Amino acid sequence: MFFLPLFDENPSKNVPLVTWFFIGLCFIIFFYQSNLTDYLELKFIYKYSFIPFFFNDFNNQNPVSFLNPYLTLVTSAFLHAGWMHILGNMLYLWIFGDNVEDSMGSIKFFVFYLLCAIGGSLLQYFSNPTSDIPIVGASGAIAGVLGSYLILYPKANIKVFMWVIIIIRTVNVPAWIVLGIWILGQFFSVSAGSSSGGGGVAYFAHIGGFITGMALTPLMRKKGTPLFNEQLTSPWEISKANKSDIKRTFTHNRSSSLPSFKRTRSSLPKFRK
């Protein structure tokens, strides 16, 4: 089974300037990185990526990077390892970032995003402090956005592309199911990721960012912004409510003072099925 979120049915109230800024910045850096020679690209990655080994012991100065290891907790969030990596991350940020930015305001969201990036990298560091493998990608920060969205809009509908063997279609799925499956997948993948000797996916960074986002959201949301928003309902709930309203209206009309339904039906408005 394969499913991919495409967009949510939860329009934002304001223009998500910070979300667009982060998306644009990531693509600009990626295009610059992609146009470097192999040697210069590798040097660029080692210069700005987060490497736990050098963060663990400042005496082991990274021979390539002039940056303080603390700064690489942030700079690493704007590097990506390939097209699939950046496209997947930016898709999730585009779908979920605008509503989270709405709930906090642009300035708080800017700080929130960076804190989630730091939280994700730190958990990855604690999982393997001696690793000398560069950690790159916005996954930790975006995982924080997903964690925030989960506790803000769990009932928002996500349009998902689903592929099950020979069945291909798009369906509406509540956010709590989409994001719940995503974070559970990170936990189940941790053992496989940590057991590999080479590079791979930094699953602990995803989990760390997700937890950071959930923890920060109640503190950074705007005053009056509810958690677990109950106003967003699924299409089948709306359809059920509409049918109930129609049924009540029809029952009321039948019990009104009209002489009979047959005599007055010609004056009723016509409806298409």
In this prediction, residue 168 carries a pLDDT of: 78
Sequence-separated (6 or more) residues with CB below 8 Å from residue 195: none
Could you report the per-residue pLDDT of 221-266, keeping only the tens digit for each? 999 889 888 665 444 444 444 444 444 544 444 444 444 434 444 4
| Superfamily of chain region 2-220 | Rhomboid-like (1.20.1540.10)
HSE toward the beta carbon, residue 117, CA cutoff 13 A: 25
pLDDT, tens digit only, all 273 positions of the chain = 567 888 888 988 899 999 999 999 999 999 999 999 999 999 999 899 998 888 876 656 676 777 788 899 999 999 998 899 999 999 999 999 999 999 999 999 999 999 999 999 999 999 888 888 899 999 999 999 999 999 999 999 989 887 777 777 788 888 888 888 878 877 766 655 444 444 567 889 999 999 999 999 999 999 988 988 866 544 444 444 444 444 454 444 444 444 443 444 444 444 344
Sequence-separated (6 or more) residues with CB below 8 Å from residue 39: none
% helix / strand / coil in the chain, to the nearest 5? 60, 10, 30
Q: How far apart are CA 112 and CA 102, in angstroms?
A: 12
For the entire predicted model, the pTM comes to 0.79
Q: How far apart are CA 239 and CA 248, in angstroms?
A: 14
In this prediction, residue 239 carries a pLDDT of: 46
